[in-house]
Structure 1
Amino acid sequence: MADLVLLTGISGFLGGHVAMALLNAGYRVRGSVRTLDKAGKVRTTLQRAGGDVGRLEFVALDLLGDAGWDAAMDGVRFLQHTASPFVLDIPKDPNELIRPAVDGTRRAIEAALRAKVERIVLTSSIAAIQYGHKDYSRLLTESDWTNVDSPKTGAYAKSKTLAEKAAWDLMDKAGRHDDLAVINPAAILGPLLDDDPGTSAALVARLLDGKLPAVPKLGFSVVDVRDVAALHLDAMTNESAGGQRCIASEGIYRMTDIASAMKEAFPDRRIPTAELPDVLVRLAGLFDRTIAGNVHELGTLKRLDGHRGSNRLGRPLISGTVSAITTGKSLIAKGLV
């Protein structure tokens, strides 16, 4: 019988693609959802994408509740923990993000350790690497950690940093450091499996909807969801991935780079390519919490060393502009913009 993988967060954008990678590789997948009434939609989505849902089952798990975690680990060889809150509209109380991220990771890791799961793959983020540093003239690597005490570190970055550190701490205390593999993705773009655009795709949607007069002078790292899913699959069995973090980033792009590529790909859409002055972005942030959460990014390009991801897969990663265009095509095809 095929090995069983517990995949938390299967209903999410990344979780769905990880599920497809696992099913296509011949694994059995036990996907966790907050409530089982979501299972039917996920099953249909994966079946439409070509997944063998005969090897798919579901379990209800809550990041903030203890119920069901031990039962969910029964017979599981590998854990893929992708579930974590991610929002563009940062809540007023940072603990609304931090608590479920940290507590959910602890629950997943502790249950996996009790069940003696062979390998744990954790989805972290470059947000656990790139914030709160004084020097951005160098490439940031997997050895760098976000400074959670910096006033420039937001709630989301804190949640990902503290959750990942909690995971490493638990594994170290159990003497199983090398049985954890962490993937640290950049902003994830790529094809949608269902009609939920998620958070990263929402950035592309805002370019396509014709409502933006210009784009902010922001630069950010991008990776395709198909590459991130492939790295999760690799990390599960690749001996060299054990005990390591892996930045998943194809490269850094300015908003104008993405907008220009999309304008060429979608000539019938009113896509802005002019840059908005920083002062106007900061002013808009006083009225829009989504913008306010990104104002601190103005003027600083955070460059990441993404060679480990491409080395693991043995090929170049999908280009960020291709990923953005693919996202746009999905959004249009599903009638979301």
Structure 2
Amino acid sequence: MTGTVFVSGGSGYIAGETIRQLLARGWAVHTSVRSLSREAELRAQLGGTAESLKFFAADLTSDHGWAEAMAGCDAVCHMASPFPSAVPKDENELIVPAREGALRALRFAHAAGIRRFVMTSSAAAIAYGHPPGKSQYDESDWTNIDAPGVQPYIKSKTIAERAARDWVAANAPEMDYCAVCPVAVLGPVASGDFAASIEIVERLLNGSIPAIPNVGFSVVDVRDIADLHIRALEAPAATIHGERFIGSSGPFQKFADVARVLRDNLGPQARKVPSRNMPNWGVRLLAMVMPPARQLLGELGRVRATSSAHAQAVLGWSPRPPEESILDCARSLIEKGVVKV
């Protein structure tokens, strides 16, 4: 299956790679950006022609531009969602646009007669708010947004996916809706505009993390998560209808594991990568003077391992090992001049 697909949030890290792969596979792409002033910049990164890649101005919080963007499309890949640079004072700054953006995309897709709808959710909607002893997660798990310490971004992704599923069930049960749930996305970068997860590798390389906290995350490569979205777009309807697919590769990675991969493979370019561990009390002390570090407190010692066995079995997806993603990410950050070594 190919045709014309609408990809929301075309300036995003995952969306950009997805668009590049879609164009290479013969899809025509409509994509949205908040301002068309970025069209020339993004077109240079994404490729395509004026016929195969078209830009539209549309925002998660307004109806303007959505109908035009979806006109003539056969499928939707809804990837746009707000991500904070810091914890917002009001959680609704994230929750409202994430939820309303997903519902807006669904409404306009349904009005345009589009049946295939792939939504980028997140492992954040799966692996949080559970009892401390739980460390393994799959698609049947849902984040408990009422649990203490659940961050606004995590709430926003959970609420948006649940709202989307409820809307489809009530208004368009015939729609072939599914959700892709990535973990921390690494891999090569096209520019200095990339996902927040890339900052983990950036900060390890530039020495701004003086010691290694006892926290971690699961990893997936941006090239593989784009491929997973496309497999969901192209699969038979019965295969993806109502499904969730976790996008994760390999075992859970501690910061220490990522640092070790960098030190063992990059030689002098990894000279600033820390090798000593930060005690938990040091993280708590840091959080008192550095607000972003507060997000680490609930992760100290936690393991949130996610299985992608379902995506591999149903869609034939095969992700690369996390070490490759970590190193390709680091090398591209150095090559693009984002990190000076």
- TM-score bucket of the superposed structures, by smaller chain: over 0.9
Partner letter of residue 3 of structure 2?
D
Q: Contact 2:135–2:303 (CA<8 Å) still a contact in 1? A: no
Shift of 1:195: 2.5
Alpha-carbon distance in 2 for matches of 1:138, 1:331: 31
Shift of 1:53: 5.9
Superposition RMSD in Å:
1.6
Q: Contact 1:234–1:312 (CA<8 Å) still a contact in 2? A: no
Paired position in structure 1 for 2:17: 17
**Secondary structure of the structure 1 residue equivalent to 2:109:** helix
1:274 is the counterpart of 2:276: yes
Say which is worse superposed, 227-236 or 132-141, in terms of deviation.
132-141
Shift of 1:97: 1.1
**Secondary structure of the structure 1 residue equivalent to 2:219:** strand
**Which digits, 9 at most, give the CA deviation of each residue in 1:43-100, with x for residues without a partner?**
00112xxx55641010000111111212222111100100011235221211111111
1:151 is the counterpart of 2:153: no
Paired position in structure 2 for 1:231: 228
Alpha-carbon distance in 2 for matches of 1:335, 1:113: 43
**Secondary structure of the structure 2 residue equivalent to 1:267:** helix
Q: Contact 1:126–1:185 (CA<8 Å) still a contact in 2? A: yes
Partner letter of residue 241 of structure 1?
I
Q: Contact 1:140–1:304 (CA<8 Å) still a contact in 2? A: yes
Shift of 1:285: 1.1
Alpha-carbon distance in 2 for matches of 1:316, 1:69: 33
Shift of 1:136: 3.8
**Which digits, 9 at most, give the CA deviation of each residue in 1:167-196, with x for residues without a partner?**
101110124266101100000001112231
Alpha-carbon distance in 2 for matches of 1:135, 1:291: 20
Q: Percent identity?
A: 38
Alpha-carbon distance in 1 for matches of 2:290, 2:80: 27
Paired position in structure 2 for 1:283: 285
Shift of 1:198: 3.0
Q: Contact 1:262–1:325 (CA<8 Å) still a contact in 2? A: yes
Paired position in structure 2 for 1:6: 6
Alpha-carbon distance in 2 for matches of 1:93, 1:293: 16
1:247 is the counterpart of 2:246: yes
1:73 is the counterpart of 2:70: yes
Say which is worse superposed, 235-244 or 73-82, in terms of deviation.
235-244
- Which of 325, 328, 331 is residue 329 of structure 1 equivalent to? 331
Q: Contact 2:135–2:302 (CA<8 Å) still a contact in 1? A: no
Cα separation, partners in 2 of 1:125 and 1:23, compared to 1, 3 Å: same
Shift of 1:299: 1.9
Paired position in structure 2 for 1:46: 46
Cα separation, partners in 2 of 1:257 and 1:53, compared to 1, 3 Å: farther
- Which of 196, 202, 205 is residue 199 of structure 2 equivalent to? 202
Moved over 4 A (4+): 51-54
Cα separation, partners in 2 of 1:54 and 1:193, compared to 1, 3 Å: farther
- Which of 173, 178, 187 is residue 176 of structure 1 equivalent to? 173
Alpha-carbon distance in 2 for matches of 1:53, 1:150: 48
**Which digits, 9 at most, give the CA deviation of each residue in 1:94-133, with x for residues without a partner?**
1111111111111111111111112000000000001111
Alpha-carbon distance in 1 for matches of 2:124, 2:61: 22
Partner letter of residue 99 of structure 2?
V
Paired position in structure 2 for 1:318: 320
Cα separation, partners in 2 of 1:139 and 1:212, compared to 1, 3 Å: closer
Q: Contact 1:168–1:177 (CA<8 Å) still a contact in 2? A: no
Alpha-carbon distance in 2 for matches of 1:36, 1:111: 20
Alpha-carbon distance in 1 for matches of 2:205, 2:125: 30
Alpha-carbon distance in 2 for matches of 1:316, 1:108: 29
**Which digits, 9 at most, give the CA deviation of each residue in 1:225-281, with x for residues without a partner?**
111000100111212122100011113101100000011222213211222101110
| TM-score between both structures, scaled by the size of structure 1 | 0.95
Shift of 1:224: 0.5
| TM-score between both structures, scaled by the size of structure 2 | 0.93
Q: Contact 1:89–1:293 (CA<8 Å) still a contact in 2? A: no
Partner letter of residue 26 of structure 2?
G
**Which digits, 9 at most, give the CA deviation of each residue in 1:190-236, with x for residues without a partner?**
11122313311111100010232211100211100111000100111
1:99-178 equivalences under 5 Å are 99-134=96-131, 136-137=133-134, 139-176=136-173
Shift of 1:312: 4.4
**Secondary structure of the structure 2 residue equivalent to 1:293:** helix
Paired position in structure 1 for 2:310: 308
